[in-house]
């Protein structure tokens, strides 16, 4: 997976075409704009009466759009050839095509006028230079002409740059974001997702360390102390009582260690599948859970793991903080997406920025999924995770 990402990053950060190439593309755009203007004048004049008549309006609009779509395809090739744009292939609506071509024609004609003024200014500059070389112009007139010409040149160039930027925005609106922009967005999403996953993994490691230190380790210390007291005690009755207490403590240690292991990664996911692993979550929860699992087939292991931890974390939070008396869990397919929905009847007020939910957002986001949390004050709390399976 790293190979395509690095290639995409190199392509996304490649510099735009040089200005001579873009200038040629601008000139070509002026020519295509004149063709578009001629198309609207000729074809529009022919099909205009048919567009006004309801019986022929649909066919006339289809004919007008067909030509506009062909001209728009040439505009798309022009953007790709001279400006380096690569747009995803998709079928735009007829009204969108006609709107784009009409605005593009107007912008192109306006660009032609501005470019013509620039050419006219260059010719005047040549005549001015010729007058200076012949000595027919004094320095005051020369200074006036240079200042006026410089201001007009600045305004002309700025006008061309603004029209070219508007043409680029217009193409993006019609054809969608370019492949360069899509790659940049994807790289940004992957970088954000990677940082979030690393943060979630670090938080999970810290939680496991706290569980072992504050829970299992303390119980093992208590167990060792009970066994030590039993060894030193010389009364058989007291020794038996201490051993009985130590045996009970060892069982509690095993139970808590098993709980920690389940929170790290449940082996039932590999051995029995997601449905059985969620059944284990239901059995360990002190609140009644209504489980509705409907799977069409085997899931990717990453999706199974994410779905399990979403349910486990949501159920744990509900049991600890919401004062809920009932929880419903639904895991079902909607197309190629696995939708996990957890709802409790507690008091609500869950903080999406909390450590637990933030970790779930990172875990789901790493799979290009989405997590929605709706928890108004007073309840109920609903958590929905959408996990792509494709």
Give the closest residue to 113 by CA, choosing from 26, 203, 1. Answer: 26
Q: Which of 386, 381, 385, 257 is nearest to 317 (CA)?
A: 381
Per-residue confidence band for 321, with pLDDT thresholds at 50, 70 and 90: confident
What's the predicted TM-score (pTM) here? 0.48
Compute the distance between CA of residue 189 and CA of residue 191 in angstroms, rounded to an integer. 5
Whether residue 29 is predicted with pLDDT greater than 60 in this model: the reply is: yes
Query: Comparing C-alpha atoms, which of 251, 264, 263 is closest to residue 219?
Result: 251
pLDDT score recorded for residue 9: 35
pLDDT at 3 over 60: no
pLDDT at residue 4, as a whole number = 35
Percent over 70 (pLDDT), the chain: 84
Asked if 156 contacts 121 with a C-beta cutoff of 8 angstroms, the reply is: yes
pLDDT tops 80 at residue 63: yes
User: What integer pLDDT is reported at residue 218 of this predicted model?
Assistant: 77
What is the Cα–Cα distance from 117 to 96, expressed in whole angstroms? 31
Predicted pLDDT of residue 37: 92
| Residue 211, pLDDT score | 67
Task: Find all residues with CB under 8 Å of 43, minimum gap 6, and list them.
Answer: 63, 64, 67
Q: What is the mean pLDDT of residues 114-134?
A: 83
pLDDT (tens digit per residue) in 127-148: 777 777 777 767 777 788 788 8
Q: What percent of the chain has pLDDT over 90?
A: 10
The residue that leads in pLDDT, 211 or 43, is 43
What is the C-alpha separation between 77 and 291, in angstroms, rounded? 54
The pLDDT of residue 212 is above 80: no
pLDDT tens digits, 221-265: 777 887 787 777 767 777 777 778 777 778 777 777 766 666 666
Least confident stretch, 2-6, 200-204, 241-245: 2-6
């Amino acid at each position: 997976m790293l190979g395509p990402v690095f290639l995409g990053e190199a392509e996304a950060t490649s510099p735009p075409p040089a200005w001579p190439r873009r200038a040629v593309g601008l000139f070509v755009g002026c020519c295509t704009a004149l063709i578009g203007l001629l198309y609207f004048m000729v074809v529009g004049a022919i099909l205009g009466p048919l567009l006004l008549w309801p019986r022929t309006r649909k066919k006339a609009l289809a004919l007008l759009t067909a030509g506009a779509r062909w001209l728009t395809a040439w505009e798309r090739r022009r953007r790709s050839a001279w400006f380096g744009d690569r747009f995803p292939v998709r079928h735009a609506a007829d009204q969108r095509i006609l709107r784009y071509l009409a605005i593009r024609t107007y912008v192109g004609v306006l660009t032609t006028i501005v470019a013509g003024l620039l050419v006219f200014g260059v010719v005047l500059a040549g005549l001015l230079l010729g007058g200076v070389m012949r000595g027919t112009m004094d320095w005051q007139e020369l200074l006036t002409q240079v200042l006026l010409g410089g201001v007009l040149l600045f305004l002309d160039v700025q006008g061309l740059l603004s029209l070219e930027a508007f043409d680029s925005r217009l193409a993006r609106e019609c054809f969608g974001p370019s492949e360069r922009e899509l790659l940049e967005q994807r790289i940004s999403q992957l970088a954000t997702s990677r940082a979030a996953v690393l943060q979630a993994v670090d938080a999970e490691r810290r939680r496991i360390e706290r569980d072992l230190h504050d829970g299992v380790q303390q119980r093992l210390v208590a167990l060792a102390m009970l066994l030590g007291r039993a060894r030193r005690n010389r009364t058989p009755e007291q020794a038996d009582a201490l051993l009985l207490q130590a045996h009970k403590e060892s069982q509690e240690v095993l139970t808590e260690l098993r709980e920690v292991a389940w929170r790290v990664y449940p082996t039932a996911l590999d051995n029995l599948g997601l449905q059985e692993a969620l059944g284990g979550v239901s059995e360990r929860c002190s609140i009644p859970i209504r489980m509705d699992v409907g799977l069409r087939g085997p899931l990717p292991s990453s999706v199974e793991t994410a779905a399990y931890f979403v349910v486990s974390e949501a159920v744990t939070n509900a049991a600890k903080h919401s004062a809920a008396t009932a929880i419903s869990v639904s895991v079902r397919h909607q197309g190629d997406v696995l939708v996990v929905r957890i709802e409790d009847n507690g008091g609500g007020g869950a903080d999406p920025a909390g450590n637990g939910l933030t970790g779930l957002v990172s875990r789901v986001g790493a799979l290009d999924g989405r997590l929605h949390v709706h928890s108004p004050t007073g309840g109920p709390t609903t958590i929905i995770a959408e996990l792509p399976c494709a």
